[in-house]
Structures are given as structure tokens and as C-alpha cells.
Structure 1
Amino acid sequence: MATHHRSRRNLGPSRRPARTVLAAGLLAAALYGGGPAGADPVPAPAPASATEAVQQMIDLSRQAEQLNQQALTAQADLDAKLTIQRDADAKVAAATAAVDAARDEVAEYRPIIDRTAIAAYQGARTNRLFSVLVSDSPQQLLDQMSTLDVVATQTSDQLKQYKRATDAATAAQTAARAAADAARTATDQANAVRDDVGRKQTDLQNAVAKVIEVWGTLSTADRTALAGSPFPPGFDRDSLLADLVPGSGTSALAAGLTRVGDPYVWGATGPDQFDCSGLVQWAFAQVGKQVPRTSSAQAAYGTPVDRADLQPGDVVFFYDDISHVGIYAGNGLMLHASTFGVPVAVAPVDSTPYHSARRY
């Protein structure tokens, strides 16, 4: 069975892409004295027994998994805020260009408008009554009135064009001010979220360091017991795969089952190491479905499914804060990347506090 399992995994990608900055940074920090520069992780209290050590390891890993999802969520929030900021900056540039163009158009009409205003101020005779008074003949009167009509029409058109240009300039300036305000707001929000990301990543680094510290106190037998079996007793993966109906959910489950035995790593998204939401995202990506990165965002994707209606390939969520996720494998079982020290495995759904499910 082990040989067959290994051959299935070799069907996956042979090249390992660069690790995410978060995953690599956290793992390196944990293995080589993790935590922020100048700060040492708080030592975990020494367990009194092997059983206590294993339980402490489980509890600390659970805390680290929660922090991992929080840090990923904060990073996703920051990425969204930075996108808004970039869009706002682009609108500022476009609005500024519109203001410049509108001002240039106003400048074209200003000399004409100025001359008309000066002529009116100086008493220029441009009305029909004046033409009647100074005309020597009916024909001269008609000629003068016709000329006045042309001048009046041209002046009226120029005044309308000037008004349109000034209105456009005013609107452009208003839009530019609004865009600048939005850009400042987006920048402030991005900076606030950036600070939150830094705090959460620092908390996660410290938590990871504690997990690694306690892991080092476990015996080989304890580590093996903690890792458990990749499949529950009586589970037949080949039969399950043979019975699956092709579809995005079941096909994603089939892809995910090829990763059984791969290690859990905080912040990892594959192809051969994962955190819980990273495994779900990777599995669905293999069948062309782009799902969100974090468990909380995944819980808002797709459509809700009642627990009584679960089908293989549905995505199941756990804990009140939705900080863990897996893929339902049927018969009350799920595929998931559990926690540090426990490879990707198939386990009972009831082994973790159930929250909800979605179908992608």
C-alpha cells in the first residue's frame, strides 16, 4: 500500500516553487530561534509527563494554526487595501490630467471673452436701436442689422463654449479633490492594516517557536503517536476514487488525496507541504477552481450545505472562528492538513468541532 501511495504522489508536480515569504520566514524563525529581532520567544513551561507534553504540543499547535489564519486574513486585507490605494492613485493622475486639459480649453476662449467684455465696458454700439439711429438708408439698416446678428451669434456661441469649458474645469477640479481625498484615505487604511499584519506575524512567529520547542521534548514514539495514521482503519482510497462522480468537488478531493503524507507547514500552499486552507486552495486549483486563500474567506465562497446533505468534495469548516478547514471524503471522514507534526491525512469529521460546510 505504501508503494502504491508513493507512486500516486509522483503524479504531482515535480518542481517545487519558491515558498511563500510567510511560510519560509515563519519556519526559519521557528527552527533557528524564531520571533522578531531582538526578542526571544517566551519559553513554554516544561511538561511533567509524556502525555502532558503531547497535549501541550496539540494545544500550542492549535493556537499557532489560529494565528496563522489570522495573519493570512490580515495579509489578504492589506492586499485589498493596496489595490484600492493603487486605483485611487490612478484616478488622481487621470483627474489631474483632466483639470489641465480643461484649463487649457478655458485659456483658448479667455481672450475672446475679455475683448467682448472690454468692448461692452467701453460703450461699443452693438444693438439694433443704434443701427436704426445711424442708418442713412433702408439697405444700410438691413446690412448693419445682418452684421449685428452674425456678431451676436458668434459671441453667444463663444460665451456658451467658454461656459462649458469653465464648467468642465470646475467639475474636473472637484473630481481631482475627491480622488485625492480617496487616495489619502486608502493610504491611511493600508498603513493601519500593514501594522496589524506585522503584529499578527510576530505573534505567529512566537507561537511557532513555542510549538517547535515542545516538539523537541517529545520522544520518537510520542511524535509517531501524534502523527497518527494517514488513513483510518478500513479506509480504501482506491475504492473511494473509483466511486467518485466527476465534478469540481470530487475531482478536487481526488487531487487532494494524492497529497496524503505531505507535511503541515504554516502558510504553505503546496505542492508538497500545506496548511489547512492552503491544501483546500491547492486541491481546487488542480481542477481549475480559484478559491480564496484563508479558511474564513473560503467559508463565504460557494453555497452553504447542511451537514446532513454532505457529499464527497464539499468543504467543511471547524471551530467558532472558522480557523480550520478540510474536504469531506464521505462516510463521516475528511481530508485535511491538521497541524504541525501531523501530515496531511484522512480523519473523522467529528475529531474537530464542526462549524459549517460549503459546496464549490
Structure 2
Amino acid sequence: MTAHHRNPRVPRAVAGVVSAAFLVCASYAAGPSLADPVALPTTASDAIARMVDLSRQAEALNQSSLAAQQDLDAKLAVQRDADAKLAASTAVADAARAEVRKFQPMIDRTAVAAYTGARTDRMFAVLSSDSPQQLLDKMSLLDVLGQRTADDVRQFTRSADAATAAETAARAAADTARAATATAEAVRADVDRKRDDLTAATTQVVEAWGALSASDRSTLAGSPFPPGFDRDSLLAGLVPGSGTSALAAALTRVGDPYVWGATGPDRFDCSGLVQWAFKQVGMTVPRTSSQQANFGTPVARSELQPGDVVLFYPEISHVGIYAGNGLMVHASTFGVPVAVAPIDTTPFHSARRY
């Protein structure tokens, strides 16, 4: 976070707006409860600090909302797959039932013949024939009819078995599809709630920022580079690799605005910048800071190298790319463009090497 200059007094309007925003957003992250007394900001630096705190809470909600949306997308994909399997298994079942219907008339005729006492065996042929030739003809015909009937019965049995199996599969697919739909709908409700929370939080942040004076906004934004930082010298000294190349890409975005949910190419949130930077070197990185915390391999803080991904806060709601010498490039928060800043200004959580 950039250093803040203190002004003797903050305008009453700034204090009122920022304090109100703090009260509304305090429930979104760890901090004072709404019942706890909250001191009004009395200086510009206090107001800016409150503004930064609100922005961090909104950033945490942003990451949570993005994760919920990705969860919903995954559940919807499962639902689509289940629906497709249901459609395919239903089609198989329909075809199997159609095949059964082809043999049903033959089965019905055979059943009727047996019920009415029709005589179709060889003894009947012997008893009812008037001559040896007629006997041979009848027996030959009975052999043909018997073979056809046996073949038809076998095919009917196979078709009936196939239809039963297909219908069982269709019922199972229907159950799976219903379960997938129910799960997706539950996740959708969670996404909607998180989006509403984020909208409320970001509205308060924007209102608080709008109440700041131009001087206070400039103080909030700070400098894109810390004193003495030389981007060209840093880039010249980088050892080639995916991490250092991603760092180089991220450094080209210094000065771009922070926007919740943005992934570039000219506006970013924290995890969006990390994802974009590694995408420039052909690496697909997860979207949210919590997911990025499980990507690649862990790195101890004492072993950080330029290009490593650094993560912050207990809930891992912020992320940047290490630039060496205790610095990182990151999309900090609303009102602060992409910048290079010390990692010690933010509570360190962990680091990963991609």
C-alpha cells in the first residue's frame, strides 16, 4: 500500500460518507460488528485508510463472487452433460421399444394360437394327412414355421431385454439430470447473493472515493513505482523463465486502473492481472486468488524469486507477482492503478512458483 500524507482535517462530507460506507461493509469481512462504536475519520489519511479497508473488503467479495461463478459454471457443465446423457439414453430406450413392437404381433398370434388350441405339431400333421406326400409337405412347412417362430421369439427376447436395460439407464440418467439441476440451482442462488453483496460493497467504495478531494485521491493512488525502482534494470537482469516473463508482462500494465472482475487487457483486478500476465507466456492460470494459491508449487518467503506469485491475507483475497527486493507488481485496489509496491504493506500468506 502506498504511503499516505496526513492533512490536518478531513471535510465533514468525506467523514460522513466514508463512515457510512464502513458501517455498511463491515459485515462483509472480519472487523468491527455493526453494534461496535466506529470512530469517525478526522483526517484525510484516516479517511483514505477507511477507503482502503472498504476496498479490500470489496476485493475479497469480488474474489469470492468469481469463485462462486466458476463453481456455477462447473455445475452447469455437469447438468448439460447429464441432460445430454438423458437424451441419448432416452433415444436408445425409444429405439429398443420400437424394436419390441416389431415382434409383438407375432408373439400375440402365437399366444392366441396356443390359447385357442391350434394344432401345429408333427403328430397333428400325421393324423391329418391323407397321403405320404401331404404328410411330408405339412411336416416341411411346420419345420419352416417352427424355425421362424423360434428365431422371432429369440429376437423378441433380445429386444425386450435391451428395452428393459435402456429404460433402466434412462431412469438413472433422468435421476442424475434432476440432481445436477437442483445442485446448479442452489449454487446459482449463492452466486446471486454474492453478486448482490459485491454490488452493495462496491457502491459504497465508489461513493467514499467520490467524496475524497482531488488531493486525497492522488495520495490514495500514490506513485506507480517506489523511490529508486528502475524497471529497465530489473528487466535486463531477469533470468529467462515463465515466471520472469509473466513479471515482465505485468510490468507493462503499470498505471492501468483497478476494476473489480476485470482481466485485461487494460484494466484488472488482482487475480485478473496475474492470470493475464501468465497468459502472455502461454500458461493457463486459474482465475481467482484462492485457486491461484493451489496452482504451481509452494515457495518459502525466504526463497522468493522474481516471477513468483505472492498471496496475501488469511482468506487469500489478494495476489501479486514478486519483482525482487521485497517488491511486487499488483492491481491493488479501487482508486489505485496497477503499481509496484513493497510486499510488507500487505499481510503475507504464501507464495507459489508457476
Instruction: Please classify the TM superposition score into its range, dividing by the shorter chain length.
Output: 0.7 to 0.9
Between the aligned partners of 2:158 and 2:151, the Cα distance in structure 1 is 11
Letter in 2 for 1:238: D
In structure 1, the residue matched to 2:253 is 259
What's the secondary structure of 1:312's corresponding residue? coil
Alpha-carbon deviation of 1:180? 2.1
1:330 matched to 2:324? The reply is yes
Give 3-state SS (helix, strand or coil) of 2:268's partner: coil
Q: Match of 2:20?
A: none
3-state DSSP of counterpart to 1:65: helix
Shift of 1:295: 1.2
Is the 1:53–1:217 Cα contact (8 Å) retained in structure 2? no
Matches within 5 A, 1:81-100: 81-100=75-94
CA deviation profile, 1:276-332 (whole Å, cap 9, x unmatched):
011111111222222222112222223333334333222222122111111122233
CA offset at residue 349 of structure 1? 2.2
Change (3 A) 1:127 1:208: same
CA distance in 1, matches of 2:83, 2:176: 9
Name the SS of the counterpart of 1:329 in structure 2.
strand
The CA deviation string for residues 181-227 of structure 1, in whole angstroms up to 9 with x for no partner, is 22222222222222222221121122112222322343333333322
For 1:359 and 1:137, the matched residues in 2 are separated by 98
Residue 295 of structure 1 aligns with an amino acid whose one-letter code is: S
- Alpha-carbon offset, residue 149 of structure 1: 4.7
Q: Secondary structure at the match of 1:61?
A: helix
Matched, 1:216 2:230: no
2:171 counterpart of 1:177: yes
Give the AA of the match of 2:348: Y
Uncovered stretches (5+) of structure 2, i.e. residues with no partner: 1-16, 18-22, 27-37
- Alpha-carbon shift at residue 43 of structure 1 (Å): 9.5
Amino acid at match of 2:289: S
The answer to whether 1:280 aligns with 2:274 is: yes
Q: How has the CA–CA distance of structure 1 residues 265 and 148 changed in structure 2, closer, same or farther, with 3 Å as cutoff?
A: same
> Could you state the TM-score of these two structures normalised by the residue count of structure 1?
0.79
Equivalent of 2:296 in 302, 322, 325 = 302
Q: Measure how far apart 1:242 and its partner are.
A: 1.8
CA distance in 1, matches of 2:25, 2:178: 42
Preserved contact between residue 258 and residue 331 of structure 2 (Cα < 8 Å): yes
Amino acid at match of 2:262: A
- Name the % identity: 72
Cα distance, 1:188–1:128 mapped onto 2, change above 3 Å: same
1:266 is paired with a residue of what secondary structure?
Answer: coil
Q: Map of 1:1-360 to 2, 5 A cutoff?
A: 42=24, 46-127=40-121, 148-360=142-354
> Which secondary structure does the structure 2 equivalent of 1:358 belong to?
strand
Residue correspondences, number: 321
SS in structure 2 opposite 1:216? helix
Structure 1 unaligned residues grouped into runs of 5+: 1-32, 34-40
| CA displacement, residues 254-275 of structure 1 (integer Å, 9 cap, x when unaligned) | 1111001111111111111110
TM-score scaled by structure 2? Answer: 0.81
Deviation per CA, 1:96-154, whole angstroms, max 9, x where unpaired?
Answer: 22222111111111111222222233334445666677789999888766655544433
Q: Which residue of 2 aligns with 1:19?
A: none
SS at match of 1:340: coil
Q: Aligned partners of 1:47, 1:112: CA distance in 2, in Å?
A: 91
Matches of 1:335 and 1:112, distance apart in 2: 79
Amino acid at match of 2:199: Q
Counterparts in 2 of 1:137 and 1:350: CA distance versus 1, 3 Å: farther
